[in-house]
Every structure is written in C-alpha cells, then in structure tokens.
Structure 1
Amino acid sequence: MCLGSVNVILTPEEVLFRGLVLVGFEPKRQKSVQHKKNLSRFRMHFSSDPSVYSVLLIKLQETKNEKANLSFDSEVDPRIHKIGVDGMLKYFFMSIYFLACYPTEEQAEGLFGCSDRTWRNWVWEIVEKIALLKPEIIVWPKKWNNPDNPEDPESATIFIITVDGTHCRIEEPTHEAFSENTKYYSHKFKSAAYDYEVALSIFEDRCVWVAGPYPAGTPDITIFRHKLKAKILESREASGVMHRAIGDKGYRGERGVLSIVSSADTDAVRKFKARVLSRQEVFNSRLKCFDVLEDCFRHTGLPGHKGPARNREVTGSEVKHQFCFDSCAVICQVSQSIVRLFYPPT
C-alpha cells in the first residue's frame, strides 16, 4: 500500500455503532431504542452526523499530504503493528469527541480508559491532521459563474461571498504591565478572545475562506484588508467581472469590493442581503456546536510548530486553537457537501 490508499472504510451505521460504544452505549442499549434516538446520542457526543465522519475518515486516508494522512496501513505507519486498526479508529473518535465536548484530561482518562499522556498525544496529532485537510476542503473557486448556468461567461455573478468574523473565548493573555491585554478584548464576550474570518459562497453550500486567529480587538475591516480583499481583486482580474462581497456594518470603508446593508437598497436587495447574511450566521453557529470553540479555550503551548506569519509574535495557544478551528471548519464543510444546509438565495 502507498500514501493515499484507502484501506479502512466505515459505513455511517458502523460509525454510529463504534462511536456510541466508545462513549458508553453498549450494543444492548443501542438495540433497545429507535435509530433516531441513537442518532441524537451520537450528535450530542460528536456534534455531527455519522455520515460526515464516514466521509472524513476516507478523506484523511486519500490525501497525498503526508502530514495530514491518517494511514491504517502498517507499511506506512509502523504504529499500526502495536495498536491495530481498532486502536487507531478509537483515537480518531476520541479526537472528534475532544472537539465536540472539550473534556479535561481527567474526564477523558475516566471515559476512555487511557492515560493523560496517551490522550494528549493522539488527540492533538489527529486534530492537526484534520486541520491540515483545509487546503483540500475549503477551496477558493477559480471561477464564480452562476451555478445555474456555469458554462455561460455572461452569467458570472457580482456578489460572490458573504464574510463575517466569529469570536472564540480564550483565557486572558499575559501582558507585561497590565492584568488584561486590550488587543484581545472581545466586545461580544466582554473578555479575551480570538477572531476568525469566515467567508461563504453565496450561491453554493461552500465555505471558501477561513483566516485567523487574530486578536479579537482587531476590527473586521482590518482583517478583511489583510488577505481577503486581495483574493477578491484577484478573482476580478481573472474574470473581468466586478465581484464584491457582502458583510455587516462592521465592514464599512471598502465600498469598492464590499457591500453592506444600506438605506439606499431596494426592498429586493435588502431582502437578498438579509438572507445571505443569515446563512453566514447559521454556518458560524454550526461551528460553535463544537465545545472546543464555544467554551473558553484553556490550552497553551505546542512546541515545534509555527503559527500564521503576520509579522507579530505567535503564541502556542494560537497554534493549538487554529488547529481546532480549522478542524471544525473542515468537518462543517464536509457536512455541507453531504447534507444541504442552505438553499440558493433568490
């Protein structure tokens, strides 16, 4: 076998069964209730449907990115000889549980019967692998033609994405002189947080952009100008169409490339903008179904990694949180590719 080979495939039913067994629902209890009840149990512990993780497991094996590849072949990963395929699958489900429920190491030790070191090492390894799928899963389209008529260049759309920032709470970063670091202050939580920039395609069920983390005190428009603005301008140059994004009132100041809700909008345009911005909020809320993003992030330090290069010091907490956020974004996008979450705005 070679890198990119798929040798372990679990059906959604097998994912459901294995996942529930791992968190304490033995086969007898699963058989004693309806399928709908077991699905509800699974979602409470893993924050998405079994079909999503069935696909994710395949994508982790298919990828040619060596750092992202989760191999179940002993010739590729010698550790399989020691822990076996079942052991590797257990660590995969443990990692998803970590993202979904964000337990402490002590809680995980009791639930999964492993040491804190084993939990810590395997969870962070697999979370990082899922995060490294982002370039393959969250992709900026080469063309922005209307999906109803994709081959007609005249049907290219002007409004292509919605963009919004979402804050995730963190423990208060240290400051040389003060007890609080104001650049991380989140007006949403009244405490320290990271900010991530998320963009969705308007006419497709697709997340096309995730950037961060940034200190929550950074204005949304400043983050937009950092990279996403240039991305839109590149698309304009490639298509010859004056593509624009849609954002909320936090994005004032870039009228040429970004449209916000305005009193000058017609009723139809106002309704259109409200609907697409609502879609954006729905996606952001789905990200927060993962407790690792919803709860206050308590992890620090991850030696051997470098964070996003933005000409400033990057902390270990940022690197770990970015792995978690990117992993959750990948899972949410895989979910969108399976079950339609939105319908094209009209």
Structure 2
Amino acid sequence: MRSYKPTLVQTRRFMSHFGVSPTQCSQLWILLKVPENGRFKHLLWALLKLKVYATEEVLSGMAGCDEKTFRKWSDQFITALALLSTRLIKWNSRTKSGIHTFSVDGTDCPINEPSPFSPKWYSHKFRSAGLRYEIAVSLFDSEMIWINGPFPCGEFPDSKIFRRNLAGQLSKGEKGIADQGYRSISQLTIKNRGHQKGKLILIGKALARHENVNQRIKRFGCLRQQFRHELKRHVYYFRAVASVVQLRLKTDNPINSLPK
C-alpha cells in the first residue's frame, strides 16, 4: 500500500483549521488518555473548537453532527488535552546558580465581563475583562517549563503571580529574565540601560523568544477571542492549547535556544 503524503498547501489548510499538522495530530492521539469510546475524529473536533472557536452551530455543521454530540466529544477531548499538559510541561530549569535559566511572562486572555462588575478582572492590554496566566520558557531548550493560572487580570499583576508560586521553585542564586512588569523582583533580571551590551543582547533575545511562544498560544481562537463558555472551563482550554503548542515546540517547529 502506498503511503500518502499531503502537499504543503493541504498541510497549511489542515493547520489553519486544527492548529497542528497531520503528523502532530497523530502524535497527540498516541499521547492522549483517550476518553472511553472516543474516536480520532473527536480529537479533530476538539482541535477545531480550540483553533477556530466559532459557534457550536457552525462547528457542528462542519463536523457533520448535531450540537449536543459535538459539544460532548469536543469537551471530553479538550479535557484530555488539558490533562496531557501536566505530562508535557514540567518544571525543569536545569538549575545553575548565577546563570539565567528561564524567561517568564504573563499572557492575558479576554473573557465576557463577569456579573456583577468588578475592576479585579480588568486587563490593561485589551481594556476589558480577562484572565492572566504565567508562562516560563527554558533558555536552553525549546519548551515551556511552567504554566500557572488563571488569575483575574486586575487583581494579579505579573509580579504578584510570580511571588505566589514560581519564586518558591527557584534554587538559591538561580535567575530568570523578565520584562519591566517584574522590576521589583530580585530573582529576575530586567532589561535596562545599565547592562553591558552582551547582557542586553541576551535579555532581548530571551524576551523575543518568549513573545514568540505567547504569539503561538494566541493563534488559537479560544484564547484570542472573548471566551463564551463557563469561566471554570477556561483553564482546560488554555492547558489544552498549551499541550498542542508544547508538542510543536519540541518537534517540528522549535524556537532557537540561547547559548549555554
């Protein structure tokens, strides 16, 4: 039997709908703890929901089923993808005292304004309600090594989230790289004019790599558009997307590592 290899155009179209290539989709299927009676097409439904995030009337029409069936299986597989993130994303900073081992930043995701209104949800990035997640990226490898959240954007600035959990994971003398939102934290190096040229270049590259990861996450409509489902489900959508992005970072679409 002849093996089938999709063309570049077919692969690009597939990725525009599902956020991964056909090969990565097969890898996800192998890695997943598949829900009982789940089928491969149900994984595609979940990826379609994460990437396109149209209404369920539209998505179920694309999938060729009714809304109830689409909702049942897409939600089950989104949960399975979210659980996969605990296996794919683990704290691994290659601890080296005095050496920068990771970059950290927060990313905001828009949500519908909760009722009653509260300023604790306000995100200055898009001037409406949002949830914030903390992401740490290894400087030595193409991978995320920490995700934390969600937190109400207005109530939890980046520095407060860092102190809450990640600060306690660092070994004595271990350093990270971050932007100006973390300027009050001694465990992190912030870009400023007082640094030597070589260090400025290192910090700039680290922050650029991190922004690349944030952009990959926001390519998924469920995190770029206002979230329309139950707020308690948002973390599952975020972690499901994180699993997909992590797989791509570690396989066919890595980011450049910094010199060790």
TM bracket, shorter-chain basis = over 0.9
| Partner deviation per Cα, 1:15-68 (whole Å, 9 max, x = no partner) | x6xxxxxxxxxxxxxxxxxx11101111111122222212111111xxxxxxxx
Once residues 157 and 206 of structure 1 are traced to their aligned partners in structure 2, the CA distance between those partners, rounded to angstroms, is 21
**Corresponding residue for 2:45?**
94
User: What is residue 275 of structure 1 aligned with on the other side?
Assistant: 205
The reply to whether residue 136 of structure 1 matches residue 73 of structure 2 is: no
1:113-163 CA-to-partner distances (Å, cap 9, x unmatched) read 212111111111110011001121001127436xxxxxxxxxx66111100
Checking the alignment, whether the CA contact within 8 Å between 1:213 and 1:322 is kept in structure 2 is: yes
Match of 2:137 in 1: 200
CA RMSD across the alignment: 1.8
In 2: Cα distance, 1:143 partner to 1:70 partner: 32
In 1, Cα distance between equivalents of 2:101 and 2:189: 11
CA distance 1:226–1:13, shift in 2 (3 Å): farther
Distance 1:174 1:13, change over 3 A: farther
The one of 104, 129, 144 equivalent to 2:55 is 104
Q: Which has the higher contact order (CA 8 A, sep 6+)?
A: 2
Partner letter of residue 256 of structure 2?
Y
Which letter maps to 1:292? C
Cα distance, 1:13–1:269 mapped onto 2, change above 3 Å: farther
Identity %: 32
Return the alpha-carbon distance in structure 1 between the equivalents of residues 88 and 244 of structure 2.
9
- Aligned residues of 2:29 and 2:40 also touching (Cα < 8 A): no
Letter in 2 for 1:195: R
Does the CA-based 8 Å contact 2:102-2:136 persist in structure 1? yes
- SS in structure 1 of the partner of residue 78 of structure 2: helix
What is the deviation of 1:100? Answer: 0.6
Cα contact 2:93–2:102 (8 A) shared by 1: no
Matched, 1:40 2:12: yes
Who is 2:113 aligned against? 172
> Against the structure 1 CA distance between its residues 144 and 120, is the aligned structure 2 distance closer, same or farther, given a 3 Å change threshold?
same
Structure 1 residue 112 displacement after superposition: 1.6
Opposite residue 153 of structure 2, the aligned amino acid is A
Q: Which amino acid aligns with 1:342?
A: I
SS at match of 1:339: coil
Aligned with residue 325 of structure 1, among 238, 241, 244: 238
Q: How far apart are the structure 2 equivalents of 1:182 and 1:132?
A: 31
Q: Is the 8 A contact 1:13 1:50 kept in 2?
A: no
Counterpart contact for 1:171–1:192, Cα < 8 Å: yes
- TM-score, reference length from structure 1: 0.71
Gaps of 5+ in 1: 1-11, 17-34, 61-68, 72-76, 81-87, 146-155, 237-241, 301-316
